[in-house]
Structure 1
Amino acid sequence: MPDSAIVATQKTPSYTMVHVENLGHSITPIVFNENNYDECSRSFHLALMAKGKLSYLDGTINKPAATADNFETWQSTNALVTMCIFNTIEPALRNQISIRPEAKHVWLDIKNHFNQINESRIYLLQADLFACRQGPTESLVTYYGRMTAIWNVLSELDVIPVLLGTR
């Protein structure tokens, strides 16, 4: 993409769609299934942030009145974000997701349905972190990456892991 196209994309308001956005494509390579909400959520949020459309998911852009000048543009962009959500979902799960008029409500339904925080999951993640040791042939980068992955999941669950001891 030429530099001028990048600059034009960055200056485009959130209410508008850019010509490269396509309803038939997923915006993230990660396909959402019932077991990877955390990973898919991170990827999806980053992808929408890169496109300047995250505000449709977090609700910071409110739906304008039907008589407002920007209503049709908001409606088109909201539909685009909603389609991006559905294109990211594994086909077998799509029937479990309610189609709502606003992308933020679709995402909240997904979060409420699939982001189940439970004590046993938190305990297992904390136990994995406590037991995490660098293997004899494992590089420091790989070891640190495994620990960071666990910390990332725990931080997204808003849990501060407590280590009971060290060796």
Structure 2
Amino acid sequence: MAGTRVSYQDMMTPLFLHPSDNVASIQVDKLQGSSDYRAWRRSMEINLSSKRKLGFVTGTVSIPTDDVAKAEMWETCNNMVIAWLTANVSPTIKKLIMYMSSAKDIWFNLEKRFSLTNGSRKYKLNRDVFELKQNSDSITEYYTAMKSIWEELDSLNLLPTVTSTTADVLKLLEVINLQKEESRLFQFLNGLDEQYNTHRSNLLMQIPLPTVETACDTLEQEEAQRSLLSSNINKPSVDLMAMYSKHNPDRNMTCNVCGAKGLSSTKCWQVIGYPRWHAKHGTPGGTLNNSRRALQQQIPDGTDLNQILHQEWLPMFI
């Protein structure tokens, strides 16, 4: 790179290291062993590729032999990649690769040590997807767990590239994709909780069968409705007596004229007069006779008629 000015072409080369690049520039889940190696490797490949440094671990970017300055730049980048690799493995694995001087050697050493053969890995993944159950997880969580297994299986089952397409080839690919979609739908529905049995049957009766994404979307909507209904059912019921008491400010008072509870003497009929429908209407004081007997037949036994007659809602009949 000439002078202190960095051109666009210089930045596009694998030997360019941005001033902000440091050990913490790449952070993924630390490699623990064979169980998480494939996911770790994929994450590292994406991050290294974004910084144009993937060639340092694959061996496609080798140290220049005809330019001392570029050789020094290569060493700097190689050491940075080593730092990224060692920072994203467990302490135990870090001890195994600490003294290796080439990012490529570290990469292939990890591949040799932790990569399972395709046959063993395929068997484990197929067993995992068969045994995976919802187990009260949300539909989204269950689908995400299953989809991650499918995607890894796809990476192990790469089909050869088709260079020339014909109508027959396109038809064959369409049938293969349809069969794969059906297989995934069956796997997804198989692991659902029993509460979705009815919806599982409804989905399987559709012609044509829905995709697994459509089935997931349908079940998520059902899950949301159930959650909403459950929250409404669990709400405490309204206490009708509390509502009545709220609108009766005299509920804690006792009339000092007739002795009735729940009203003040200023609202007592013996003080303010009886309503028009009452037998004593127009006469002060007195007892309730004909109206008392008529109302007594309409209320439950044991109810305090005197208190009911004095409630505030009865004036609506006046």
Normalised-by-shorter TM-score class: 0.7 to 0.9
* Map of 1:149 onto structure 2: 148
What's the counterpart of residue 32 of structure 2? 33
8 Å contact 2:14–2:53 — kept in the other structure? yes
Cα distance between partner residues in 2 of 1:47 and 1:154: 22
The residue type paired with residue 36 of structure 1 is: D
Give the structure 1 partner of residue 115 of structure 2: 115
Q: How far is 1:61 from its partner?
A: 1.1
State how 1:90-129 maps to structure 2 within 5 Å: 90-97=90-97, 99-117=99-117, 119-129=119-129
AA paired with 2:116? Q
Q: Normalising to structure 1: TM-score of the pair?
A: 0.74
Q: Which runs of 5+ in 2 are unaligned?
A: 1-7, 159-179, 191-318
Contact 1:28 1:43 in 2 (8 A): no
Decide whether the 8 Å contact of 2:27 with 2:88 is kept in 1: yes
Separation (CA, whole Å) in 2 of partners of 1:99 and 1:88: 16
Q: CA deviation at 1:32?
A: 1.2
Cα deviation for residue 143 of structure 1 reads 3.5
CA gap 1:76/1:98 in 2 versus in 1, 3 angstroms: same
Going from structure 1 to structure 2, the CA distance change for 1:55 and 1:120 (only over 3 Å counts) comes to closer
Aligned residue identity for 2:30 = V
Separation in 1 of the partners of 2:15 and 2:153? Answer: 34
Counterpart of 2:63 in structure 1 is 63
C-alpha distance 104-94 of structure 1, shift in aligned 2 (>3 A): same
Partner of 1:77: 77
Q: How many residues align?
A: 153
Task: State the 1:116 CA deviation.
Answer: 2.2
CA distance in 1 between partners of 2:90 and 2:133 (Å) = 34
Greater relative contact order, per chain length (Cα 8 Å cut-off, separation 6+): 1
User: Any conservation in 1 of the 2:28–2:44 contact (CA below 8 Å)?
Assistant: no
Percent identity, aligned pairs only?
24
Matched residue type, 2:114: F
CA distance 1:109–1:136, shift in 2 (3 Å): closer
AA partner of residue 19 (structure 2): H
Shift of 1:92: 1.9
**Residues 136/96 of structure 1: CA separation in 2 closer, same or farther (3 Å cut):** closer
Higher Rg of the two aligned structures: 2
CA distance in 1: counterparts of 2:99 and 2:90, whole angstroms: 15
Unmatched 5+ stretches in structure 1: 1-7
Using the TM superposition, name which of 77-86 and 54-63 deviates more: 54-63
Indicate the residue corresponding to 2:262 in structure 1.
Answer: none
SS in 2 for 1:70: helix
